[in-house]
Structure 1
Amino acid sequence: MQDDLTSSCDNPKEFWRKIGKIGIGAERQRNIPMEINLEDGSVSTDPISVLNKWKNDFSSMLNVENCIQPSENVDSKDQDKCDYLLDCEITSEEIFNVIKKAKNGKAPGLDELPVEVLKNQTALSFLVRLFNVCYNTGKVPVLWAKGVIVPVPKCSSSDPRDPLSYRGITLAPATYKLYCGVLDCRLREKFDASDIIHDEQNGFRKDRNTIDHLLSITSIIESRKLRKQSTYAAFIDFKKGIRYYK
């Protein structure tokens, strides 16, 4: 089985299909029961109560209101400067570079348009106009603010009647993801060129990996052990840190 899985490493779809066959994937495919735990400890099977519980739990978790104050360190003179990389019109080349990296066969969002239908010249011309309207006005289609949340169990031992024991995977419109991809490429290029991000930041950076830090800390520990010195490290796992910040 190990050799069979190793041979499929270059084909993610085939790899996970084989994983599902040996039961690991089946744990994540269990049906969600039409019942939930109430605040008083009782269990409800009323469809309306179940749906409201799911709605309220995910809404309170995802719709966190943060009061973001403008930085006091921002120089008003800098705000008037023109940055060509960030201020220029979005080009068809930028969009094409993002589209060609988009994988086929992915679930679509509410618009039910898979990314495959956007991989042509007609769609590309439309996206250029759409993205530039969004970029210049700061406004996006209302549909982009909506997504289909697919709940996936975090682990097999979690309570299936607790909505927060599921990880919500949001299916967003392909056009929205492509637009975000264009902005992401611009910001990465800007940050790398300006040396804004600290060199110690390896996560979410091109040609870098958090494994690089593991190599560094391993080398430090081994070096200190040779000198009979103790090493202390603190690792912080922020709860739901991806969903919101303060």
Structure 2
Amino acid sequence: MQSRKDFDKLNRRAKRNYQLEQLNRLQKLFAQFWKSIGKLGLANDRKSRQTYQIRSETGEIISDIDSVLEKWKIDYKKLYNSADINGTNDDDFLEDIKSKLQNRNNLVNDNNIDTTELNRAIERDEVREAVFRAKQGKSVGIDEIPSEILRNDTCIDLLYKIIRFCSIEEYVPS
């Protein structure tokens, strides 16, 4: 019995040693594999093939990197600084926006749209419906409270009181 136990113990030790040797051998092979892949230099070939060419005002193709970058710089300046020196484009744009906003406000007031519904008090059923619409089993938010816990009536009442307070007092507690 004792010799069988000793044999099993030696067998398990030899098996662990064999597996460890095989693991080390595989790790060395993978290291060599990734080194050889890195030496292929595919990324470097891609970078060298990128062309910097532009067509000048005269129509000729320029491939000098400094000239290309300078041309791009000038084009982007023109693109983002489209206002003239006096700033009249900015003033015209501002007046245009103001007139469009005024026209839209007149249109809303002329249609007599009732917006009082937007300012009504929040009801408990709305809070309950929002809580039950939240997905279950998903990761928690910044408050670290799972949505399953919020489905409790006590939690819904507390949420309703907090939301109503924020709505009435126009204050959000930190």
Q: TM-score range by the shorter chain?
A: 0.3 to 0.5
Larger radius of gyration: 2
TM (norm. structure 2) is 0.34
TM (norm. structure 1) is 0.25
Higher relative contact order (CA 8 A, sep 6+): 1
Which structure: greater helix fraction? 2
Which structure: greater strand fraction? 1
